[in-house]
């Protein structure tokens, strides 16, 4: 049986170049493979082919994440196209959900502009109404600092206008032997995420994995400065969120080029460090199912992906630009505007696919070596929106909300996107979905916490109690999201009956109306009639109101309800979602050397077999 299996495998290898031949010469390419079952993660030595003529020579696993199961292979083949190889693999292994060529990505290259040595003002901040935003007292919160992940070419960690706002990994900083003198680098993976000394972030360039995020291009340093340059320090430029924590994830090299697979690795890393906003000033790739799956995971965790719309001057409604054109309610595509608040001539546009525009022409920000530079492009526009989103999250925190991406929190990112788009200033003639970013107007739309709960009278009929009305009242400012109410008997308490639940959706009152209530439902909740009325114990209601948007909040009333009951304060918490996700993926333990060809042809489940003796 064993001999016949290997004979079959040898025959399939021999026939592979003929049965699956594509057209053209393909040589080296990278292949992405994704499966829903991470239990069968590839590991070991995959150099099973014997000659350069074999199409699967020199395959090497570079990544398999526990959050986003993804496998990347380097393929040396002059006989098969990536599409033909994927077709063949999926034919024999139907559990493969994604098989596609990995793609090279690049920064949205800025236009060449004069590089003046000193800039006296940042016109871009005036354009998005930053002065009015800051006048509200919202600069970001030094005690509750929002993290923004810069998925780019890295950050200049020595720039004096950025150093104080760089995120630093507290676990790595407090490892044995780590101290300021050695840059907190002790050569140990203190947080157990597989990356040694990731003090400021992670570096995944070309499939690598280390903690050196030092920018060698300048692009990432520039966008980081727009988001969160240190402000009021008498030096250089200001940042939109003056207390943002900048998490660096470097996946593009000194030339501004990188791989989709490494961008996905950055997404996973950003989530593991509880970053709520991801800034992405890169693109120009084809549609990728793997990238879409990664965004779906970000969506479930409430992280907002801000992406540049591209510098091609094209309508992305008809010619998509990825990743900014991916269909997801947590991604916001950003076009570039001029000093005249018009759409920049080279910015991509689209009434459905470019959601907002922001200043992107002759923008000044931080550069390499402690310098400052002036650049143009949608790359420069994108961090304005990322910084604004971080400022909105700071306002959420100030208003009492809990903000995290550690637990499932679907809805937060879409709420941020909605606020940014609804508050944008309309611009005539700009073919985009909303308008020009208006940070001050966006801040005004961040919902405040409810300040009172009231529970209406219920009937005196001892066979039932009727909750006549439940409402939440905001006595300070504009109302937040709609509330869905439910009322349930607690059968474990005296007077409690069956745990039936009656629910009804709430409705938002008009925006800006203080002291307005969110009307609830009249509903009947039955419990057994006592044998000797009218002296039954009071039933215990559990009445809850849950927001139907961003962070759900609960309004518990775990006690007997009396007519006119009210609560002076509200307990509000983030949506329950089970235990926090693991900070990092863990690789499967490496076993004995295995041939990838054996795994491919070993059966429909990509099973592993020992390498046969020579």
CATH number of the domain within which 469 lies: 2.60.40
Say if residue 127 is in the same domain as residue 80. Answer: no
Instruction: Report the pLDDT value the prediction gives residue 93, as an integer from 0 to 100.
Output: 75
Can you tell me the distance from the alpha carbon of 50 to that of 56, in angstroms, rounded to the nearest whole number?
Answer: 9
Tell me, yes or no, whether 465 and 549 share the same domain.
Answer: yes
Please answer whether residues 240 and 391 qualify as being in contact, where contact means their C-beta atoms are separated by less than 8 angstroms: yes
Query: Do 457 and 417 share a structural domain?
Result: no
Question: What residues make up the domain containing 463?
Answer: 452-567
219 is catalytic: yes
Marked catalytic residue, from 219, 355, 384, 465: 219
DSSP percent split of the chain into helix, strand, coil, nearest 5:
25, 20, 55
Same domain, 366 and 456: no
The pLDDT assigned to 460 comes to: 35
Q: Mean pLDDT in each 10-residue stretch from start to end of the chain (614 residues)?
A: 33 36 53 63 31 32 43 67 76 78 70 34 85 80 88 96 94 90 90 92 90 95 95 86 94 92 93 92 91 87 92 94 90 95 94 96 93 93 96 84 60 85 90 93 76 38 38 39 44 43 37 29 31 38 40 34 30 23 25 31 27 31
For residue 29, which phi and psi values (nearest 5 degrees)? -150, 170
* Candidates 379, 434, 523, 575; catalytic one: 379
Residues 129, 204 within the same domain: yes
Q: Which two tokens stand for residue 563?
A: 């007519």
Contact 337, 385 (CB under 8 A): no
Asked about 465 being catalytic, the answer comes back as no
572 within a domain of the structure (yes/no): no
What total of structural domains would you count in the chain? Answer: 3
Domain membership flag for residue 506:
yes
**Which segments of 81-237 does DSSP mark as H helices, in order?**
82-92, 123-127, 130-135, 170-173, 219-228
Q: Return the closest-CA partner of residue 354 out of 387, 380, 389, 318.
A: 318
Q: Is the dihedral of CA 174, 180, 183, 185 positive or negative?
A: negative
Distance of CA 498 to the CA centre of its chain: 42
pTM for the whole thing? 0.65
User: Do residues 489 and 385 both lie within one domain?
Assistant: no
The pLDDT assigned to 142 comes to: 79
**337 classed as catalytic:** no
Identify whether the C-beta of residue 124 lies closer than 8 Å to the C-beta of residue 387: no
Regarding whether 138 and 88 lie in a shared domain, the answer is no
Asked whether residue 417 falls in the same domain as residue 494, the answer is no
Q: And the tokens for 303?
A: 């992280």
Same domain, 58 and 176: no
Judging by DSSP bridges, how do beta strands 516-517 and 559-560 pair with one another? unpaired
The CA distance from 564 to 578, in Å, is 35
Among 54, 102, 141, 152, the active-site one is: 152
Say if residue 423 is in the same domain as residue 459. Answer: no
User: How far apart (Å, rounded) are the C-alpha atoms in residues 551 and 227?
Assistant: 24
Please compute Rg for the chain using Cα positions: 28
The confidence score (pLDDT) of residue 109 equals 54
Q: In this predicted structure, what is the pLDDT of residue 77?
A: 59
Q: 220 lies in a domain?
A: yes
pLDDT of residue 596: 33
Q: So what's the pLDDT on residue 79?
A: 61
Give the model's pLDDT for residue 120.
52
The whole-angstrom separation of Cα 507 and Cα 486 is 14
- Do 456 and 433 belong to one domain? no
Location of structure tokens 């236009």: 111
CATH of the domain at 369: 3.40.50.200
Q: Is 500 helix (H, G, I), strand (E, B) or coil?
A: coil
């Amino acid at each position: 049986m064993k001999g016949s299996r290997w004979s079959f495998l040898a025959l399939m290898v021999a026939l592979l170049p003929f049965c699956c031949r594509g057209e053209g010469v393909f040589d080296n390419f990278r292949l992405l493979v994704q499966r829903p079952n991470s239990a069968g993660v590839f590991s070991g030595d995959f150099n099973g082919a014997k000659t350069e003529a074999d199409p699967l020579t020199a395959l090497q696993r570079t990544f398999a994440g526990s959050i986003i199961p993804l496998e990347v292979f380097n393929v040396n083949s002059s006989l098969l196209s990536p599409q033909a190889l994927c077709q063949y693999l999926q034919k024999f292994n139907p559990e493969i959900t994604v098989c596609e060529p990995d793609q090279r990505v690049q920064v949205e290259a800025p236009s060449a502009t004069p590089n003046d040595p000193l800039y006296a003002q940042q016109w871009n901040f005036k354009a998005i109404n930053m002065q009015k935003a800051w006048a509200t007292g919202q600069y970001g919160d030094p005690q509750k600092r929002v993290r923004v992940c810069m998925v780019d070419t890295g950050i200049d960690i020595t720039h004096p206008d950025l150093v104080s706002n760089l995120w630093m990994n507290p676990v790595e900083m407090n490892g044995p032997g780590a101290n300021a003198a050695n840059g907190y680098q002790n050569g140990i993976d203190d947080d157990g995420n597989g990356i040694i000394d990731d003090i400021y972030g992670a570096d995944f360039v070309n499939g690598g994995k280390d903690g050196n995020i030092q920018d060698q291009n300048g692009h990432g340093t520039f966008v980081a400065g727009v988001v969160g340059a240190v402000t009021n320090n008498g030096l250089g430029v200001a940042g939109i969120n003056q207390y943002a924590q900048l998490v660096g994830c470097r996946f593009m090299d000194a030339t501004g080029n990188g791989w989709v697979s490494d961008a996905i690795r950055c997404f996973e890393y950003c989530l593991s460090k509880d970053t709520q906003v991801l800034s992405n000033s890169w693109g120009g790739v084809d549609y990728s199912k793997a990238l879409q799956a990664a965004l779906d995971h970000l969506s479930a965790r409430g992280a907002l992906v801000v992406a540049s719309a591209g510098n091609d001057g094209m309508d992305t409604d008809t010619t998509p630009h990825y990743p900014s054109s991916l269909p997801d309610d947590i991604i916001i595509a950003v076009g570039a505007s001029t000093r005249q608040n018009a759409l920049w001539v080279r910015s991509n546009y689209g009434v459905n696919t470019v959601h907002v525009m922001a200043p992107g022409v002759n923008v000044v920000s931080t550069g390499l070596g402690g310098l400052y530079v002036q650049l143009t492009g949608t790359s420069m526009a994108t961090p304005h929106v990322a910084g604004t989103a971080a400022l909105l999250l700071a306002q959420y925190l100030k208003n009492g909300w809990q903000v995290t991406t550690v637990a499932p929190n679907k809805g937060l990112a879409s709420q941020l996107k909605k606020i940014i788009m609804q508050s944008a200033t309309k611009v005539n003639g700009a073919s985009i979905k909303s308008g020009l970013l208006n940070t001050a107007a966006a801040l005004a739309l961040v919902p405040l916490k409810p300040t009172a709960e009231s529970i209406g009278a219920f009937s005196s009929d001892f066979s039932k109690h009727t909750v006549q009305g439940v409402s939440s009242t905001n006595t300070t400012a504009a109302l937040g999201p709609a509330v869905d109410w439910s009322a349930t008997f607690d059968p474990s308490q005296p007077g409690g009956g069956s745990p039936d639940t009656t629910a009804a959706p709430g409705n938002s009152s008009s925006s800006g109306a203080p002291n307005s209530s969110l009307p609830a439902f009249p509903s009947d909740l039955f419990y057994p009639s006592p044998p000797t009325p009218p002296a039954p114990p009071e039933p215990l209601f559990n009445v809850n109101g849950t927001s139907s948007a961003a962070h759900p909040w609960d309004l518990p009333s775990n006690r007997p309800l009396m007519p006119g009951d009210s609560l002076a304060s509200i307990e509000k918490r983030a949506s329950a979602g089970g235990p926090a996700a693991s900070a990092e993926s863990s690789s499967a333990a490496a076993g004995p050397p295995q041939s990838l060809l054996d795994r491919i042809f070993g059966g429909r489940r990509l099973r592993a077999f020992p390498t046969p003796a020579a």
